[in-house]
Every structure is written in C-alpha cells, then in structure tokens.
Amino acid sequence: MALSIVRDLCTACGDCEPVCPTQSITPFKGVYKIEADTCTECEEEFDVPQCLDVCMEDDCIVTA
Ligand code: SF4
Ligand code: SF4
C-alpha cells in the first residue's frame, strides 16, 4: 500500500519530504511525488503517515 500526492493540490512547500522515513518523497515536475514502490504508509515506524500529518493542504495526500 502507498499514498500519493494529488499534484493539482500540492503547493510544493516541501514539508513532507524530510519527514518521510523511507525517503519516498521527491520533487517531481514542479511539485512532489511519492514513490509507490517504497512508501510503507509509515506502518512500521509511526501510528500515522508522517506526510499526511505534516501536509497543510486538505485532500492533497490520498490513498493511491
Ligand atoms: S506515508 Fe510515510 S512512507 Fe509513505 S510517503 Fe508518506 S511519509 Fe513516506
Ligand atoms: S506537504 Fe503537501 S503541499 Fe507540501 S509538498 Fe508535500 S504534498 Fe505538497
């Protein structure tokens, strides 16, 4: 399972990139994207997905 970033809602603030424990978030075409192959939904490390927790934009990060 993985989360994904809705590119039309992402403001490219970059806040999610450093909090990802699997380094799955990278700049992509002016916004950010989540690498589905490595995103774990933070299940091993945290109670909640860290990118979702930090992102200020409603509905920007969703279940892929
Ligand atoms: S859910 Fe966790 S592992 Fe997946 S992109 Fe967000 S911070 Fe990274
Ligand atoms: S925190 Fe949200 S708005 Fe900011 S770069 Fe990440 S996905 Fe985009």
Per-residue pLDDT tens over the stretch 12-62 = 999 999 999 999 999 999 999 999 999 999 999 999 999 999 999 999 999
Q: CB atoms < 10 A from the CB of 61, how many?
A: 23
Instruction: Indicate the CATH number of 3-63 among 3.30.70.20, 2.160.20.10, 2.60.120.260, 3.30.70.1560.
Output: 3.30.70.20
Q: CB atoms < 10 A from the CB of 7, how many?
A: 14
Find the residues whose C-beta lies inside 6 A of ligand 2.
5, 10-16, 32, 54-55, 57, 60-61
Look at residue 1 in the predicted model and tell me its pLDDT. 86
What does pTM read for this prediction?
Answer: 0.95
What separation in Å is there between the alpha carbon of 40 and the centre of ligand 2?
18
According to DSSP, residue 53 is labeled H
What separation in Å is there between the alpha carbon of 57 and the centre of ligand 1?
16
Look at residue 51 in the predicted model and tell me its pLDDT. 98
Q: Is the pLDDT of residue 64 over 90?
A: no
